[in-house]
Amino acid sequence: MSDTQIKNMDHELPGSRPGFFRRLIWLFASPGRLMEELAEKPRVLFWLILGSVTTAVPFAVRMPLYEEMVRKSIAAQSEYLESFGLEMTPEMIEAGLSSGLVTGLVTMPFQAAVVFLLTALLYYIIMRIMGGEGKFKAYLSVVVHAGIISVLYTLMLTAISYYTGSLHQTAALTSLASLVSPEDVDPYVYGFLAGIDVFTIWRYVLMAIGFTAVSKLKKKHVYIVTAIIFIIGLVIGIYGMPAKLQLM
C-alpha cells in the first residue's frame, strides 16, 4: 500500500481530525495548515455565534459609555430633523434613549452575522466566477475563523476602555488614526489612517490564505482580489469619516 493511500485512510479516521484547541493554535501559529483543514472540513456554527455575539460585549459591559454614544447619536438626528422644521426636545431624546440602547444591543449580533454571511457570499461568487472550487460553507468557515481576530480586538478594547474612557468607535485603537488627533488632520486623511488597522489587515491576510486553500486558485490571484476588496472598504471608510466625526 502506498504512502498516499495510507495518508488518505488516516484522514478518514474519525479521531484523526485536529481538535478545537489545536485548530485555535493553528490560527496563530500555522494559519495555512488551519485553512487547509477548513477547506476539507468546514466548521461554522460556533465561531459564527461567538463572533456575532461578541460584537455587543463592549457596549453591554461599558454601558455608561454606550449610553453616551446613543445619546449623541439621537441628538445628531435631532439636529438633522431641525433642518426640516422638526424639533426633538431633551425629554424626547431621553425617552428614546432606553429603547435605543436595547434595540442596539439586540440587533448588533444579527448585523454581525449578516456581515459574515454576505462577506462569504461575495468571495464565494467572485472565486467561482474565476474558476475556483469550494462550497459556500467552506468560504463562510474561513470568514468566521478569521473573525476570531475581531473577537480578540473586541476583548482587548473592552479592557482598555476602562483606562481610556472610550470605546473608540470612530477609529480602531490599533489603527494609525490613534497616533493623531482628528482635530489636527483633514477628515479624509483621518479616515485613511483609521483604515490602516493592524487587526483588520491581519484578518484580511487570514481570509486570503483561507480562500486560496478553498478555491484552489493561484495565491497571487486570490491575494489581489482580497486586496482590492480591502481597498474598496478603505475608500468607503474615508468618505464616511466626516459624518462619523460629527457624532463625536
Domain spans in the chain, listed from the N-terminal domain onward: 43-56+107-243
Mean pLDDT of 33-37: 96
- The reported pTM is 0.86
244 conformational bin, left if phi > 0, alpha if psi -120 to 50, beta if neither: alpha
Question: Which segment of 68-77, 106-115, 119-128, 197-206 scores lowest on mean pLDDT?
Answer: 68-77
Beta carbons of 50 and 24 less than 8 angstroms apart: no
Provide the mean pLDDT of the chain.
88
Residue 225 φ/ψ, nearest 5 degrees: -60, -45
5 band by pLDDT with thresholds 50, 70 and 90: very low
Q: Exposed (0-12), middle (13-18) or buried (19+): which is 203, by Cβ within 10 Å?
A: buried
DSSP state of 198: H
Beta carbons of 242 and 186 less than 8 angstroms apart: no
Alpha carbon separation from 140 to 99, 137, 244 (Å, rounded): 33, 5, 30
d(C-alpha 123, C-alpha 115), whole Å? 12
d(C-alpha 140, C-alpha 49), whole Å? 12
Identify the pLDDT of residue 90.
Answer: 65
Mean pLDDT of 25-35: 95
Mean pLDDT of 213-237: 97
The predicted-structure confidence for 82-100, as pLDDT tens digits, reads as follows 666 666 666 666 667 777 8
